[in-house]
Amino acid sequence: MTGASGVGKDTIRHAALPDIENLFFSISATTRTKREGEVHGKQYYFHSKEDFEEMLANDGLLEHAEYVGDYYGTPSKPVLEALARGQDVLLELELVGARKVKEKMPEAIMIFIAPPTLSELERRLRSRGTDSEEKIQKRLSRAREEIKAVKEFNYVVVNDLLTRAVRDFKSIIYAERVKSKYIEPQDIARFLKEL
């Protein structure tokens, strides 16, 4: 899932995840400053620039990107382990990172979370009160750029009414899981042999 800061990605995720069995949420690593109330290993793995660059050098990240002066990245190991256990993996990524993962894993499903309007996004960013005016402007300009790439995504969930956004987000995961492409010829053969 991708979407501007302030669009409600975390709110949707927290509301949806308890209902969805067998879905692993990948916690990103970042060099950005920990906000009030954030916990290492919960919202993010918070790292120094030096540590992050060491992970990079050791090929320990599935993707990474720089955003508003900070690094964000996805540690590979937990993702690959979850997939090996047969779980689906949910990644929360900036556009650049999402593109990199799609390149490495073309079967990935890309979900874009969109604000109802840009002025509503601006209002949400200001009411959060965590960013400087400069950061808010950078985030808005990034949001404009990301919207232009919306057709690269498989799905677009507009976070206008939260209950509907959560419903649609969950629906995407449930629906993707029952796509016929996951039916194997041996499943059909077993079925036909059974009577």
Angle at 142 (CA atoms; ends 139, 143), nearest 5 degrees = 85
Residues β-bridged to residue 46? 30
Q: Indicate the residue among 79 and 140 with the shorter CB distance to a copy of itself.
A: 140
- Residues recorded for the chain: 195
Q: How far is the CB of 149 from a copy of itself (least distance, A)?
A: 10
The angle formed by the CA atoms of residues 7, 128 and 112, to the nearest 5 degrees, is 10
- Kindly list the residues in this chain that would bind a copy of itself in the complex (CB under 8 A): 112, 114, 117-119, 122, 140, 144, 147-148, 150-158, 167-168, 170-181, 183, 188, 191-192, 194-195
Minimum CB–partner distance for residue 68 and a copy of itself (Å) = 18
Rank residues 65 and 172 by Cβ distance to a copy of itself and give the closer one. Answer: 172
Dist CA 77 CA 177 (whole Å): 23
Distance in Å, CB of 75 to a copy of itself, minimum? 28
20 versus 56: smaller Cβ distance to a copy of itself? 20
Closest CB to a copy of itself among residues 55, 93: 93
**Which DSSP symbol is given to 152?**
G
d(CA 142, CA 149): 11
Dihedral sign computed on CA atoms, order 16, 174, 114, 32: positive
In the bound state with a copy of itself, the residue whose beta carbon lies nearer, of 79 and 114, is: 114
**Shortest separation between residue 179's beta carbon and a copy of itself, angstroms:** 6
Residue closer to a copy of itself, measured from CB, 42 or 181: 181
Roughly what angle, to the nearest 10 degrees, separates helices 9-16 and 162-177? 60
> Running DSSP on this structure, what letter comes out for residue 18?
G
Q: State in angstroms the smallest separation of the CB of 102 from a copy of itself.
A: 13
Amino acid at 184: E
Q: How far is the CB of 21 from a copy of itself (least distance, A)?
A: 10
